[in-house]
Amino acid sequence: MTELEKLYEEIRNCHKCRLAESRTNAVPGEGPEDAQIMFIGEAPGFHEDRQGRPFVGAAGRFLDQLLESIGIKREEVYICNVIKCRPPGNRDPLADEIKACAPYLDRQIEIIKPRLIVTLGRFSLAKFLPKASISKVHGQLIRVGDLTCYPVFHPAAALHQPRWKSAVEEDFRRIPEILKQLDKLEIEDETKAKQLSLFGL
Protein backbone atom coordinates (compact mmCIF):
# COMPACT_ATOMS: atom_id res chain seq x y z
CA MET A 1 0.00 0.00 0.00
CA THR A 2 1.37 3.46 -0.89
CA GLU A 3 1.31 6.38 1.56
CA LEU A 4 -1.59 7.84 -0.38
CA GLU A 5 -3.59 4.60 -0.29
CA LYS A 6 -2.99 4.34 3.47
CA LEU A 7 -4.27 7.88 3.85
CA TYR A 8 -7.39 7.09 1.78
CA GLU A 9 -8.10 4.11 4.04
CA GLU A 10 -7.80 6.34 7.09
CA ILE A 11 -10.16 8.93 5.61
CA ARG A 12 -12.75 6.27 4.68
CA ASN A 13 -12.75 5.08 8.30
CA CYS A 14 -12.65 8.57 9.84
CA HIS A 15 -15.22 9.62 12.45
CA LYS A 16 -13.52 12.78 13.65
CA CYS A 17 -16.52 15.00 12.90
CA ARG A 18 -20.31 14.77 12.57
CA LEU A 19 -20.17 14.48 8.77
CA ALA A 20 -19.21 10.81 9.14
CA GLU A 21 -22.76 10.09 10.32
CA SER A 22 -24.52 11.40 7.20
CA ARG A 23 -22.05 10.45 4.45
CA THR A 24 -22.57 7.59 1.99
CA ASN A 25 -18.89 7.56 1.06
CA ALA A 26 -15.94 9.65 2.11
CA VAL A 27 -14.25 11.32 -0.86
CA PRO A 28 -10.49 11.35 -0.22
CA GLY A 29 -9.36 12.62 -3.64
CA GLU A 30 -7.85 11.15 -6.78
CA GLY A 31 -4.97 11.56 -9.17
CA PRO A 32 -1.35 10.51 -9.58
CA GLU A 33 1.04 10.74 -6.66
CA ASP A 34 3.49 12.70 -8.82
CA ALA A 35 0.93 15.21 -10.17
CA GLN A 36 2.33 18.69 -10.86
CA ILE A 37 -0.96 20.46 -10.23
CA MET A 38 -3.32 19.95 -7.31
CA PHE A 39 -6.88 21.28 -7.55
CA ILE A 40 -8.56 21.76 -4.18
CA GLY A 41 -12.31 22.33 -3.99
CA GLU A 42 -14.65 22.80 -1.04
CA ALA A 43 -16.50 19.58 -0.16
CA PRO A 44 -18.20 16.62 -1.87
CA GLY A 45 -21.73 17.17 -3.19
CA PHE A 46 -24.53 14.66 -3.87
CA HIS A 47 -22.88 12.77 -6.75
CA GLU A 48 -19.44 12.79 -5.14
CA ASP A 49 -20.91 11.34 -1.93
CA ARG A 50 -22.63 8.58 -3.93
CA GLN A 51 -19.55 7.66 -5.98
CA GLY A 52 -16.75 8.41 -3.48
CA ARG A 53 -14.97 10.47 -6.16
CA PRO A 54 -14.32 14.23 -6.32
CA PHE A 55 -15.88 16.53 -8.94
CA VAL A 56 -18.15 14.07 -10.75
CA GLY A 57 -21.37 16.17 -10.94
CA ALA A 58 -22.11 19.23 -13.06
CA ALA A 59 -19.19 21.18 -11.54
CA GLY A 60 -16.94 18.21 -12.28
CA ARG A 61 -17.99 18.16 -15.93
CA PHE A 62 -17.21 21.88 -16.13
CA LEU A 63 -13.81 21.25 -14.50
CA ASP A 64 -13.14 18.53 -17.10
CA GLN A 65 -14.02 21.00 -19.89
CA LEU A 66 -11.76 23.66 -18.37
CA LEU A 67 -8.87 21.20 -18.20
CA GLU A 68 -9.51 20.03 -21.75
CA SER A 69 -9.52 23.64 -22.97
CA ILE A 70 -5.91 24.03 -21.80
CA GLY A 71 -4.74 20.64 -23.06
CA ILE A 72 -4.51 18.96 -19.65
CA LYS A 73 -6.10 15.56 -18.99
CA ARG A 74 -7.99 15.03 -15.75
CA GLU A 75 -5.90 11.89 -15.09
CA GLU A 76 -2.74 14.02 -15.04
CA VAL A 77 -3.79 16.25 -12.14
CA TYR A 78 -4.63 15.65 -8.50
CA ILE A 79 -8.14 16.62 -7.40
CA CYS A 80 -9.46 16.77 -3.84
CA ASN A 81 -11.43 18.92 -1.40
CA VAL A 82 -10.85 20.74 1.87
CA ILE A 83 -13.55 18.55 3.47
CA LYS A 84 -13.68 14.84 2.67
CA CYS A 85 -17.34 14.10 3.54
CA ARG A 86 -20.49 15.77 2.22
CA PRO A 87 -22.14 18.35 4.45
CA PRO A 88 -25.92 17.58 4.56
CA GLY A 89 -27.86 19.45 1.87
CA ASN A 90 -24.55 20.85 0.55
CA ARG A 91 -24.43 23.44 3.33
CA ASP A 92 -21.16 25.28 3.95
CA PRO A 93 -18.65 23.30 5.99
CA LEU A 94 -18.45 24.44 9.63
CA ALA A 95 -15.25 25.70 11.25
CA ASP A 96 -14.87 22.65 13.52
CA GLU A 97 -15.35 20.29 10.55
CA ILE A 98 -12.69 22.12 8.54
CA LYS A 99 -10.32 21.95 11.51
CA ALA A 100 -10.92 18.23 12.08
CA CYS A 101 -10.35 17.42 8.41
CA ALA A 102 -7.35 19.72 7.81
CA PRO A 103 -4.59 17.18 8.64
CA TYR A 104 -5.73 14.97 5.73
CA LEU A 105 -5.27 17.75 3.18
CA ASP A 106 -1.93 18.68 4.78
CA ARG A 107 -0.75 15.10 4.30
CA GLN A 108 -1.98 15.01 0.70
CA ILE A 109 0.06 18.14 -0.02
CA GLU A 110 3.12 16.60 1.68
CA ILE A 111 2.82 13.39 -0.35
CA ILE A 112 2.01 14.95 -3.75
CA LYS A 113 4.32 17.96 -3.39
CA PRO A 114 2.49 19.83 -6.19
CA ARG A 115 4.32 22.54 -8.09
CA LEU A 116 1.08 24.49 -8.32
CA ILE A 117 -1.99 24.44 -6.08
CA VAL A 118 -5.14 25.74 -7.75
CA THR A 119 -7.66 26.64 -5.05
CA LEU A 120 -11.25 26.37 -6.27
CA GLY A 121 -13.53 28.70 -4.32
CA ARG A 122 -13.34 30.60 -1.07
CA PHE A 123 -13.04 27.71 1.41
CA SER A 124 -10.03 26.33 -0.38
CA LEU A 125 -8.49 29.81 -0.66
CA ALA A 126 -9.06 30.35 3.09
CA LYS A 127 -6.92 27.30 3.87
CA PHE A 128 -3.89 29.21 2.55
CA LEU A 129 -4.93 32.88 2.79
CA PRO A 130 -7.61 33.18 5.48
CA LYS A 131 -8.11 36.92 5.05
CA ALA A 132 -8.07 37.13 1.25
CA SER A 133 -11.17 37.82 -0.79
CA ILE A 134 -11.54 35.57 -3.81
CA SER A 135 -12.95 38.35 -5.99
CA LYS A 136 -9.77 40.35 -5.35
CA VAL A 137 -7.07 37.66 -5.61
CA HIS A 138 -8.42 35.20 -8.18
CA GLY A 139 -6.09 34.82 -11.14
CA GLN A 140 -3.01 35.88 -9.15
CA LEU A 141 -0.04 33.67 -8.40
CA ILE A 142 0.72 33.78 -4.69
CA ARG A 143 3.57 32.19 -2.78
CA VAL A 144 2.51 30.86 0.63
CA GLY A 145 5.57 29.50 2.41
CA ASP A 146 6.90 26.71 0.18
CA LEU A 147 3.68 26.48 -1.78
CA THR A 148 2.60 28.31 -4.92
CA CYS A 149 -1.14 28.95 -4.98
CA TYR A 150 -3.36 30.13 -7.78
CA PRO A 151 -6.89 31.02 -6.58
CA VAL A 152 -9.84 30.75 -8.96
CA PHE A 153 -13.61 30.74 -8.44
CA HIS A 154 -15.27 27.39 -7.72
CA PRO A 155 -16.64 25.80 -10.94
CA ALA A 156 -20.05 25.20 -9.24
CA ALA A 157 -20.38 28.89 -8.35
CA ALA A 158 -19.21 29.85 -11.84
CA LEU A 159 -21.97 27.73 -13.39
CA HIS A 160 -24.53 29.93 -11.65
CA GLN A 161 -22.89 33.30 -12.33
CA PRO A 162 -22.04 34.13 -15.96
CA ARG A 163 -19.41 36.74 -15.00
CA TRP A 164 -17.62 34.27 -12.72
CA LYS A 165 -17.78 31.67 -15.48
CA SER A 166 -15.80 33.86 -17.85
CA ALA A 167 -13.38 34.75 -15.01
CA VAL A 168 -12.78 31.04 -14.33
CA GLU A 169 -12.26 30.35 -18.04
CA GLU A 170 -9.79 33.21 -18.30
CA ASP A 171 -7.91 32.19 -15.13
CA PHE A 172 -7.63 28.61 -16.41
CA ARG A 173 -6.28 29.81 -19.77
CA ARG A 174 -3.24 31.20 -17.91
CA ILE A 175 -2.33 27.94 -16.17
CA PRO A 176 -0.05 26.60 -18.96
CA GLU A 177 1.84 29.92 -18.98
CA ILE A 178 2.12 29.86 -15.19
CA LEU A 179 3.65 26.38 -15.32
CA LYS A 180 6.21 27.68 -17.83
CA GLN A 181 6.93 30.70 -15.62
CA LEU A 182 7.40 28.44 -12.61
CA ASP A 183 10.14 26.56 -14.47
CA LYS A 184 12.01 29.83 -14.98
CA LEU A 185 11.37 31.01 -11.43
CA GLU A 186 12.71 27.82 -9.92
CA ILE A 187 15.90 28.20 -11.93
CA GLU A 188 16.30 31.94 -11.48
CA ASP A 189 14.98 33.43 -8.31
CA GLU A 190 12.12 32.39 -6.08
CA THR A 191 11.38 35.97 -5.03
CA LYS A 192 10.07 36.65 -8.53
CA ALA A 193 6.99 34.60 -7.67
CA LYS A 194 6.24 37.13 -4.96
CA GLN A 195 6.57 39.93 -7.46
CA LEU A 196 4.32 38.10 -9.90
CA SER A 197 1.60 38.03 -7.29
CA LEU A 198 1.74 41.81 -7.12
CA PHE A 199 1.27 42.11 -10.84
CA GLY A 200 -1.35 39.41 -11.03
CA LEU A 201 1.03 37.57 -13.40
Q: Single out the residue of 4, 7, 8, 19 in contact with ligand SF4 (rule: CB under 6 A).
A: 19
Burial class (CB in 10 A: 0-12, 13-18, 19+), 108: buried
Residues 6+ apart with CB under 8 A from 2: 33
* 3-state SS class at 139: coil
CB atoms within 10 A of CB 36: 16
Contact in structure between 132 and 144 (CB atoms under 8 Å): no
One character per residue 101-130, x = contact with ligand SF4 (rule: CB under 6 A):
x-----------------------------
Shortest Cβ distance from residue 100 to ligand SF4 (Å)?
Answer: 4
Binding segment for ligand SF4 among 19-27, 49-57, 62-70, 116-124 (CB under 6 A)?
19-27
Q: Of 10-18, 48-56, 137-145, 150-158, which segment contacts ligand SF4 by CB under 6 A?
A: 10-18
In what order do the strands lie in the sheet containing 37-41? 78-81, 37-41, 116-120, 147-152, 142-144
Are 179 and 201 within 8 A, CB to CB? no
In the stretch 52-91, what mask flags binding to ligand SF4 with x, by CB under 6 A? Answer: -------------------------------xxx------
CB of 65 to ligand SF4, least distance (A): 28
**Interface with ligand SF4 (CB under 6 A), residue from 4, 7, 14, 120:** 14
Q: Which parts of this chain interact with ligand SF4 (CB under 6 A)?
A: 11, 14-17, 19-20, 26, 83-85, 97, 100-101
